[in-house]
Structure 1
Amino acid sequence: MREIIGDIPPQKAHTSEELMERRVLGAGTNDAERCAEVLAAAFADDPLMAQIWPGSAERKRSLPLYFRTSLRSHHLAGGGVDIAVGRDGDATSVAVWDPPNHWRQPAVSTLRAAPHLLQALGTRVLAALKIRRALDHHHPKPAHWYLVNIGTRPALGGLGFAGALLDTRLAVCDETQMPAYLVCTREENISLYEKYGFRVTEAFTLPASGPTMWSMWRDPETP
């Protein structure tokens, strides 16, 4: 099992001072803890995560271990995890990207992560597996950068930190002429992703009468 996707909050106006204070850093193996902390807070009320853990208390308790395990076992090794930091240097937003042809987690990584993932999922292992299969079924085959997760600390949503993360990685996509893919879990965020060049290619429903998800694809901009 590997990480599930997520969304970024709608943007709001921000000051020129705030714009100057945003920096984007590449995450290393020592950043797993702080990245997981940010993502757990950002996804506490995400529709997809709520489908895995219907109970709010269990979900909030499980998410830090879930994200930490997925980052350490797979995503950080791919070199596509980015952190946005503010004036004080604290992590404000995290974007988890899997590089082209690396979105499927190798069996050895899955086995290594299994004890911690099973601990995080508890009795919801079967539900998580069904959701993972559904997401994999709709995943496009052409090579692409896969935006697995992107999230901002709730108190800092709308200040442009997530946007800075998107701009950074999508610039790499354009430079290398590589498409990008994500799954949007909230309909209200579709228009936001569209501003970054993504378009909806498919809508599908998660198992067990779950919420609707939207596959979104971005072709690289030509020079």
Structure 2
Amino acid sequence: MSIAIRPLSTPDLDRAAQVLGEAFVDYPWTNWCVAEDDHLQRISSLQRIYLEHMALPYGSAYIDTTGHGVIAFLPPDTPAPSAAVSAEIADLHGDRLDHLMAAEERMSTLPVPDGAWLLATIGTTPQSRGAGLGTALMKHGLTELDRAGHACWLDTSTERNLPLYQRFGFSVVDHITLDGGLSVWRMHRRGA
């Protein structure tokens, strides 16, 4: 089966947010730093904000033509969200905002290659898992970064993701354990 990937556009935002909400509803990071009440809606709303206010205007984002998978990258010079958007993000994290703030402080000390882009998010719907969609999204997005000679980095809080990312040339450069036992691995990939 051939998988077609295209750039994400504004009309795709609701669907992309839904896909990523479903993909991250049971992810250790989001379980740790996004409030439990209305958890799926909070995650979907956060993903939509990041796509709309960061990935679309400054980075690159892609969706498959069936609308079951999304990937987004951000350049190193992506500006911080406006005060209003930041307030919305804080509100969506709810009673776990302090977890996010503490994590960002700790993770800010982890290495990032000069000029590297961030693999900000990748996710597929549960029914699409195992069909090669994640692989197709990674190949497409990384090929675009390679064309421009950009290195890439990411964070993951699931150890089982490490071999997947290693298949695409990422290497673990650091690992931290946050309060409550949440593990985060920082990974880097050289540009072509």
TM-score over 0.5 for the pair: yes
Report whether the alignment pairs 1:48 with 2:34: no
Alignment partner, residue 77 of structure 2: 102
In the TM superposition, structure 1's runs of 4+ consecutive aligned residues that sit over 4 Å from their partners are: none
The superposition leaves residues 126-182 of structure 1 with CA deviations (integer Å, 9 ceiling, x where unpaired) of 222222223333251511121011111011111111111111121123222221111
Kept in 2, the 8 Å contact 1:181–1:215? The answer is yes
The superposition leaves residues 172-202 of structure 1 with CA deviations (integer Å, 9 ceiling, x where unpaired) of 2322222111112211111111111111111
In structure 2, give the amino acid aligned to 1:78.
Y
In structure 1, give the amino acid aligned to 2:20.
L
In structure 2, give the amino acid aligned to 1:217.
H
Question: Kindly, what percent of the aligned residue pairs are identical?
Answer: 23
- The separation in 2 between residues aligned to 1:52 and 1:61, in whole angstroms, is 14
Of residues 159, 164, 173 in structure 2, which corresponds to 1:192?
Answer: 164
Of residues 39, 50, 60 in structure 1, which corresponds to 2:20?
Answer: 39
Alignment partner, residue 145 of structure 1: 117
Instruction: Tell me the secondary structure at the aligned position of residue 11 of structure 2.
Output: helix
- The separation in 2 between residues aligned to 1:151 and 1:201, in whole angstroms, is 23
Of residues 68, 71, 77 in structure 1, which corresponds to 2:57?
Answer: 77
TM-score, L = length of structure 1: 0.79
The structural deviation recorded for 1:60 is 1.7
Instruction: Tell me the secondary structure at the aligned position of residue 184 of structure 2.
Output: strand
Q: How does 1:52-201 map to 2 (within 5 A)?
A: 52-53=33-34, 55=36, 57-85=37-65, 90-99=66-75, 101-103=76-78, 105-106=79-80, 109-201=81-173
The superposition leaves residues 89-137 of structure 1 with CA deviations (integer Å, 9 ceiling, x where unpaired) of x3111111102x235x43xx23131342233122222222222223333
Q: Which runs of 5+ in 1 are unaligned?
A: 1-17
The structural deviation recorded for 1:79 is 3.7
- The separation in 1 between residues aligned to 2:5 and 2:92, in whole angstroms, is 29
The structural deviation recorded for 1:36 is 0.7
Higher relative contact order (CA 8 A, sep 6+): 1
Kept in 2, the 8 Å contact 1:70–1:113? The answer is no
- The separation in 2 between residues aligned to 1:144 and 1:48, in whole angstroms, is 22
The structural deviation recorded for 1:78 is 1.5
Report whether the alignment pairs 1:216 with 2:192: no
Aligned length, in residue pairs: 192
Report which stretch shifted further, 174-183 or 37-46.
174-183
In structure 2, the CA distance between the partners of 1:132 and 1:110, relative to structure 1 (3 Å rule), is farther
